[in-house]
Amino acid sequence: MSGSSEPTSLTAEDLAAQGITALPDKEVASILDLNADLDLNLDVAAPIDLAVAANANVAAPIDAAVGANILSTGSSAQALADQGVLIDQNITADATAVSTQDSTIDQAEAGGTDPADAPATGTLPADDGGLGVEGVPLPGDVSDDLGSALSGDLLDVDIDLAADADVAAPINGAVAVNANVAAPIDAAVAANIASVDSDAVSIAQQDAIITQNIDGEATATADQQSDLQQ
């Protein structure tokens, strides 16, 4: 036994009886409404004063000898490095560094923006009534709540940010140096690689006499006076 029924369409009265809700037009609802107002006022001051004084003697004699036999037979590699160094370094001087800094920084303003006057706010869409869709009536409370939620923006944010910053970093420095540097280097290298009956001889001899004298004073003076008005 089998039976069949033909589908029937719904009338406007049937839709109203089922409580079906018609959505508003697409253009009346937006996802995000953002209004941001940024007011930044920055004052930056960084005066820098540096004094450097140096007395230096530098000596670096270098002597090197290299001998090599690679994949050779019956060869001899000899390296001889002989270095004689006599270094006499004398400094008779005063290294004086004087740095004087007098900073007057006025970052005060006659009038500023008080961030408390413009707090960041977030508002929800106002309730402006029902959907106003003709032809499909809704229950009273449901129509009011649903209409206010869909007729405006889903997220409405209004941000007003005001920032006023004063930054001051006066820097003062003084450096004084007296230095003697001596670095004699002597090297000799001899090598036989994969060779038979070969002689590798390396002789390195170094005689170094170094005399370093410093007669003087290294003085660094830094004087800083800063008048900051923020």
Q: State pLDDT tens for residues 41-83.
A: 888 888 888 888 888 888 888 899 998 888 888 888 899 989 8
Domain boundaries defined on the chain: 22-223
Question: Is this structure's pTM higher than 0.75?
Answer: no
Pick from 56, 14, 23, 44: which is nearest to 216 by CA?
56
pLDDT of residue 217: 87
d(CA 97, CA 175): 6
Statement: residue 132 has pLDDT above 70:
no
Q: Tell whether the torsion through CA atoms of 136, 141, 142 and 146 is positive or negative.
A: positive
Identify the bridge partners of residue 174 per DSSP, sorted by sequence position.
51
CB 165 within 8 A of CB 188: no
Mean pLDDT of the chain: 76
